[in-house]
Amino acid sequence: MLMLPDFRVRQRDFLLEISRAMTAQLDLAEVLRLVLHASTVMLAGKVGLVALREPTDHYVIHATLGVESDHLDELNQHLDEMVGSTNWGYDREFINTKLNQMAISLDRTLRQSLFLPLVIGEEPVGLLIIFRSYWVQPTENDQQILQSFADQAAIAVHNAQLYASINHERKQLGAILDYSADGVMMLDPQLRILGFNQALARMTGWTVQDAMAQNHDNVIKWKRLERGDLQQALDDGWPFRMPKDAPLETLYVEGDLLRLDGMTLSVGITYAPLLADDGTLMNIVANVRDITNFRRAQEMQNVFISTVSHELKTPVALIKGYAGTLRREDAKWDPQVVRDSLEVIEDEADRLTALIENLLAASKLQAERMRLDIGDVHIDQLAASVVERFKTQTTKHKFELNFPSEFPVIRGDEVRLRQVLDNLVSNAIKYSPDGGTITLGGEVDDRYATIYVRDQGAGIPDRDQEQVFERFYRVDGPLSKKTKGTGLGLYLAKAVVEAHGGSIRVKSKLGNGSTFYFTIPLIIE
Ligand code: ADP
């Protein structure tokens, strides 16, 4: 054994070496190896081991000195029994028995074991055990040496755990950013980009790599800025000094972003300041949201409101005009003129009713699922009666019915299905202004009845074919501009058909007419 003060010098050197290894951020295994080496030398041990507590509360050996690897399983087993059935420090005797068993299983020449838990705060994180090949009464000094190394080892373990948990959190945060549908970027106070996620790369056209370290203004370029202005806000003292001493606030900016490829994208950006504990600005986090759909919905709603008011006003104006003319007391009307005028009044009143029904049905649909009043429906006869009614409204169009004889009776809501046919036939007339034949027909297979309405009109461009079923959607073209409509007919038709368990689709070619098909299951579950 070394004599004091050599001993003290040696201990200090070891401790220095260990703390250097810790600050050089060597991995945990290396620090544990050093601790074990130092403790074994200092205590003149022959064999040593460090076991760490796992999250499952088991102790597993992480570093050994003088232990053959085929002994490890057995040692881990002993450790489990020792730790699993005792409270630290209380059942010293049991621990000693266990340590003896370990020693025997390792090497028959071992005579003494010294052991110390590694503790951070109150929390046990591991064990340091040294075995000697001779027995002497453990001294105060032995204990103190072991303690100094155990403390170092505990700190290293704690650091490693902190590092692992920070790393884990960093990965979680990274995953959130990577999978976020919103664009996210992190800026420094000089507006340099420090972080940039995939969604933002897709929105701006910049790659993540190219965007990093760029200045914010190089990447976020506005074609048109509608609300807010980051530069202006910063010049005004955001985030610290805002008008009227407002509390620290996020900043919202909205407009059309100029992408790298020259296209534009409507976005809203929320900038949030991130402050250090002393209140200085550390970072700005920007959340970028694609608001194209929101804008489109808003635009559609605006168009809808203006068309609806127009649609409502026109029949009312006609009805009022004709009624006013008829009741003029200074005129005597020919009976034919009176009949014609009353017919216009009746037609316009019908149109108003249909429009109001559509509006009511659409607003109800938003609030609740459509309810059906199910009964037997002879859909071929229903189609014939719809045709009869529309025939009177047009002279340009011919109508054909093409249902096989003995078309099955389906289970459905007759009023709603009539509404679907009404809307499809009324569209077929509206969107074939040059006339042509309109055919209503049906087919059956073993599961579905398919009903179709075909026209020879303007057709629908490919890109609009899915969207015509959306609420308020109207094809943007000269014919729709000339033709009255609210963009609700097909939306409602789809809702009715789907409530029956069927589906609706269109087959059409621009300039070559359209066919709308809808299916109704033959047996409604
Ligand atoms: P609208 O009240 O505008 O007619 P719909 O929901 O019934 O609303 O139809 C949506 C849009 O689909 C119409 O504005 C029109 O552009 C297009 N469309 C519907 N039916 C036809 C058709 N038979 N031929 C051509 N275009 C059609």
Weakest-pLDDT range from 142-146, 198-202, 342-346, 393-397: 142-146
- Using CA atoms, how far residue 169 sits from 166, 196, 282, in Å, is 5, 18, 20
Neighbours of 241 (CB within 10 A): 9
For the ranges 55-64, 214-223, 288-297, 348-357, the maximum mean pLDDT occurs at: 214-223
**pLDDT score, position 217:** 95
The answer to whether the CB of 438 is under 6 A from ligand 1 is no
pLDDT at 363: 78
Backbone angles phi, psi at 441, to 5 degrees: -145, 180
Q: Please give the pLDDT value at position 4.
A: 58
Which residues fall within 8 angstroms of residue 190, CB to CB, at 6 or more apart? 215
Per residue in 199-222, pLDDT (tens digit) is 999 999 999 999 999 999 999 999
Portion of the chain with pLDDT greater than 90, in percent? 45
The string of pLDDT tens digits covering residues 310-328 is 778 888 999 999 999 999 8
Contact 154, 125 (CB under 8 A): yes
Scored b (16 or more CB within 10 A) or e, 366-403 reads eeeeeebeeeebebbebbeebbeebeeeeeebebeeeb
- Residue 359: exposed, middle, or buried by beta-carbon count in 10 A (0-12, 13-18, 19+)? middle
Q: Is the CB of 489 under 6 A from ligand 1?
A: yes
pLDDT (0 to 100) of residue 151? 87
- 211 within ligand 1 shell (Cβ under 6 A): no
**Is the Cβ–Cβ distance between 285 and 188 less than 8 Å?**
no
Pair type for strands 222-227 and 47-53: unpaired
**Model confidence pLDDT, tens digit, residues 159-196:** 888 888 888 999 998 888 888 989 999 999 999 999 99
Tell me which of 261-270, 277-286, 362-371, 474-483 is least confident.
362-371
| Ligand 1 within 6 A of CB of 465 | no
Q: What is the C-alpha separation between 339 and 179, in angstroms, rounded?
A: 68
pLDDT at position 361: 82
pLDDT at 86: 47
For 294-312, the pLDDT digits (tens) are 888 888 777 778 777 877 8
273 C-beta closer than 6 A to ligand 1: no
Nearest-10 Cα torsion for 261, 266, 268, 269: 10
Q: Residue 157 and residue 53: Cα distance in Å, rounded?
A: 10
The reported pLDDT for the residue numbered 139 is 82
Single-letter code of the amino acid located at 518:
F
Percent of the chain exceeding pLDDT 70 equals 95
Residues 261-274: pLDDT tens digits? 999 999 999 999 99
Write out the E strands in 108-234: 112-120, 123-132, 183-187, 193-196, 222-227
| pLDDT recorded at residue 74 | 86
- Asked whether 114 and 132 are in contact (CB, 8 A), the reply is yes
Give distance in angstroms: CA of 474 to centre of ligand 1: 6
The Cα–Cα gap between 47 and 41 comes to 10
Q: Is the pLDDT higher at 9 or at 444?
A: 444
Q: Cα–Cα distances in Å, from 259 out to 79, 169, 221, 235, 271?
A: 62, 32, 8, 25, 19
- What is the Cα–Cα distance from 129 to 32, expressed in whole angstroms? 12
Across the beta sheet with 59-65, the strand order is: 59-65, 47-53, 123-132, 112-120
Distance of CA 370 to the CA centre of its chain: 28
Q: Does residue 136 have a pLDDT over 50?
A: yes
Please tell me the predicted confidence (pLDDT) of residue 434. Answer: 94
Ligand 1 centroid, distance to 514 Cα (angstroms): 10
The preferred substitution site among 453, 474, 481, 512 for testing ligand 1, maximizing ligand atoms within 8 Å of CB, is: 474
Mean pLDDT on 444-449: 93
- What is the average per-residue pLDDT within 445-473? 93
Does residue 521 surpass a pLDDT of 80?
A: yes
The predicted-structure confidence for 356-376, as pLDDT tens digits, reads as follows: 888 888 777 777 778 889 999
- Helix (H) and strand (E) counts in the chain: 15, 17
Pocket test for ligand 1, best of 425, 426, 430, 432 (most atoms within 8 A of CB): 430
Where are the extended beta strands (E) located within 205-299? 222-227, 251-258, 264-275, 281-290
Distances (CA, A) of 300 to 61, 256, 293: 68, 18, 10
- In which band, very low, low, confident or very high, does the pLDDT at 241 lie, cut at 50, 70 and 90? low
Tokens of 483: 């033709």
Residue 44 CA neighbour count, 13 Å, CB half: 13
Distance, in Å, from the CA atom of 225 to the CA atom of 267, rounded to the nearest integer, reads 10
- Which of helix, strand or coil describes residue 229? coil
Question: From the CB of 491, is ligand 1 less than 6 Å away?
Answer: yes
Q: How far does the centroid of ligand 1 lie from the alpha carbon of residue 471, in Å?
A: 11
Q: Is the CB of 488 under 6 A from ligand 1?
A: yes
Q: What single-letter DSSP state applies at residue 462?
A: G
Higher pLDDT, 74 or 497: 497
Distance, in Å, from the CA atom of 495 to the CA atom of 466, rounded to the nearest integer, reads 14
CA distances from 226 to 220, 239, 255, 257, 452 (A): 14, 20, 5, 11, 46
What is the predicted pLDDT for the residue at 174? 86
The reply to whether ligand 1 has any atom less than 6 angstroms from the CB of 504 is no
Contact predicate 104/74, CB 8 Å: no
